[in-house]
Structure 1
Amino acid sequence: MSRQSDSFYSGDLFGELHQADAEPVRPRLADYLPGLIVCGVASLAAAWLAEHYGFPIILLGLLIGLAMSFVSTIEITAAGLDFASRHFLRAGIVLLGLQVTFAQVAALGWLAFAGLLVVMVSAFAAAILAARWVGEGQESGILAGGATAICGASAALALYGVIGRDRLDQARFSVALVGVALASAIAMSAYPAIAQAIGMSDKQAGFLIGASVHDAAQAIGGAYSYSDAAGADATVVKLARVAMLGPIVALVALWLGRGQGGAGSAWRKVAMPWFIAGFFVLLAINSLMSFPEAVTGPALALSKALLLLAVVATAMRSQLGLLVDAGWRALVPMGAASVVSFVVALAIAWVAVA
């Protein structure tokens, strides 16, 4: 294996590859294998550690991927890592559509759903304002706000798919992923304890945890640690947040697209990414017909595996020097969004949830 020359490959999260002095050559199947194997082994290590030590699997995948970032400097891994970070990400987002239905969103009731929207808008606003305050730009705020408001790392990956490396460098994206994983892990343990300390009812605790913990599995797990009734309510609230992934990513794509001019850009301004369209299609099908657990269970497991592989590949392709350069400011939007979403969800749960 030889080290990659300075002029060979350069790529972003979505795997666009360029060669400076030659026509691009489509990789063969064998060209993908080294990168995919390395990414797969690292993902299996993260899964094993998560199962045996109880750490969040996405956080472990990020840390292992960052520790192995030197792998991306080896030429033969480039195609596989690019493929994983691009295609596995999008396929995993599409499969999330099988985990929620419109009926589950409607089951919240208009008052609780309105409160949930207030929490989500507050998280976005706090992240964008905090990003501007520390000079990180609105894209950092959008990424942090979306990850906090919707479903953690999955939402961050989907949003970065429409933000792009030209607007937000990959180092800051990796920092945001680390931040949302850490915040979600802390919230899973802290929020049920806070709800218990202030004497919340099961329904109030379910809303609080479901509306403010970022990662879906940690939100539901944290609520069930409070009580079975709180877990059931938190599941509905959290799935309603997941259902908002498609509309929010589509709106972000439209918003950012307004800044792109030139001939032929009109369609790009209104068209949502294909993987979000796929998410909507599966959500609609799942709402019209009931899939058995034998289908939805493996689909969820496959979605988690694909997203883990995408996170690991992205982390491997990050340059640690750029992560250091990003500094503490890159974490401020995520921290602001997390604090504000918790405070607003707590207030709504205390006042408006019976």
Structure 2
Amino acid sequence: MTTLSLTVLRARVHPLVPGFLISVVVAAAATFLAGHYHAPVMLFALLLGMAVNFLAVEGTCKPGIEFTSREVLRVGVALLGMRITFSQIAALGWHPVVMVVASVVITIVVAMIAARAMGFQTLFGLLTGGATAICGASAAMALAAALPAHPGKERATLFTVIGVSALSTLAMIVYPVVVRLLGFDATHAGMFLGGTIHDVAQVVGAGYGMSPETGDAATVVKLMRVAMLLPVIVCAVMLSRGQAGAQGGKRPPILPWFAVGFVLLAALNSTGWIPKSVQTFANDLSGWCLVIAISALGMKTQLKELASVGIKPIVLMVGETVFLAALVAAMLHWGM
């Protein structure tokens, strides 16, 4: 690399460093607090980020915060592919696959219709429905990265992350009681927990809190839901392209680079060539990227904007959560 190239690279990177480093510091603090208080790390990252949101208004940190909330997020989404192997999906047979695909598609469609009926944009229903149906805060961040920029996008994303994190924690406590009341065996209990709880960490906590067999089934079904992230992102991009074309705006690419990275890493992970240590490192790095990105996103948000969303979005997300739980329970009771 020539001296000129190094100079240009340094000129581009240097303005981003302060904002990136402050995002890392906030993410580290959020991770410590989440581990100490056993609460969702994404929620702590958002709250701590919003506490120092003056850093994103102006000054040396602003460019790096903008970069981190956008590009570091996309790296984290791509690395989610290292959580999935095709053999994990095949191990449970075709019934769970049908259940996952049907529940994800139906929940998102119902969410989009409900959002429209409540006066929101259809894309807001896609964002909240995708977060509920797939993998919680990670899905919300991934879908937000795929959707076109608009004035309310960041506020909608933050609200979705906060809502889905809170509902996921509540589900981790309540759903084990629900499966006992429904009389599910260990495998069906795991399928219910993995098919309904939003975030991976809460699925693991609820599943293995009941039994190892339940935990194994819950984790695999949850990873199948994570695998649905790619087709949903593609659908989100196609919908965004259609709206951008109708409005005369710039269309986003058909398949974002982070979605391509997601599926390539999932395929590579399925070969069995990747050492366990590399998989663990990639999963940890993905988690850190997402927490760092949500910290930056929190810094870009004003609390008064978030407080102005009203009661209707809360009703929408609670309704989506209850609908998904009822749908999966019905599938397991009558169809599996």
Q: What TM-score comes out, normalization by structure 1 length? A: 0.87
Aligned to 2:5: none
Cα deviation digits, residues 21-51 of structure 1 (max 9, x gap): xxxxx96433222212221221111111111
Query: Are 1:92 and 2:76 matched, yes or no?
Result: yes
* Letter of the structure 2 residue corresponding to residue 303 of structure 1: S
* Letter of the structure 1 residue corresponding to residue 254 of structure 2: A
Query: Are 1:230 and 2:214 matched, yes or no?
Result: yes
Cα deviation digits, residues 201-229 of structure 1 (max 9, x gap): 10111010000011112112211111110
Aligned equivalent of 2:13, options 29, 46, 54: 29
Query: Are 1:153 and 2:149 matched, yes or no?
Result: no
| RMSD across aligned positions (CA) | 2.0
Contact 1:204 1:350 in 2 (8 A): no
Aligned to 1:8: none
Aligned equivalent of 1:276, options 252, 259, 268: 259
Query: Are 1:298 and 2:281 matched, yes or no?
Result: yes
CA separation of 1:335 and 1:167: change in aligned 2, threshold 3 A: farther
Aligned to 1:323: 306
Partner SS, residue 61 of structure 2 = helix
Contact 1:27 1:79 in 2 (8 A): no
Contact 2:134 2:226 in 1 (8 A): yes
Aligned to 2:58: 74
Q: Counterparts of 1:114-263 in structure 2 under 5 Å? A: 114-166=98-150, 168-261=152-245
- Once structures 1 and 2 are overlaid, which stretch shifts more, 27-36 or 321-330? 27-36
Take 2:325 and 2:290, find their aligned partners in 1: how far apart are those partners?
A: 26
Number of equivalences:
326
**After TM superposition, where is structure 1 displaced by more than 4 Å over at least 4 residues in a row?**
none
**1:321 Cα deviation after fit:** 2.2
**1:68 Cα deviation after fit:** 2.1
Partner SS, residue 136 of structure 1 = coil
**1:167 Cα deviation after fit:** 7.2
Take 1:119 and 1:173, find their aligned partners in 2: how far apart are those partners?
A: 22
Aligned equivalent of 1:350, options 328, 333, 336: 333
Query: Are 1:83 and 2:90 matched, yes or no?
Result: no
**1:324 Cα deviation after fit:** 2.0
Higher helix share: 2
Partner SS, residue 60 of structure 2 = helix
CA separation of 1:270 and 1:171: change in aligned 2, threshold 3 A: closer
| Structure 1, unaligned runs of 5 or more | 1-25
Aligned to 2:319: 336
Cα deviation digits, residues 147-200 of structure 1 (max 9, x gap): 111111111111111212327431122111111111111111111121123322
Q: What TM-score comes out, normalization by structure 2 length? A: 0.91
Contact 2:52 2:299 in 1 (8 A): yes
Take 2:274 and 2:283, find their aligned partners in 1: how far apart are those partners?
A: 12
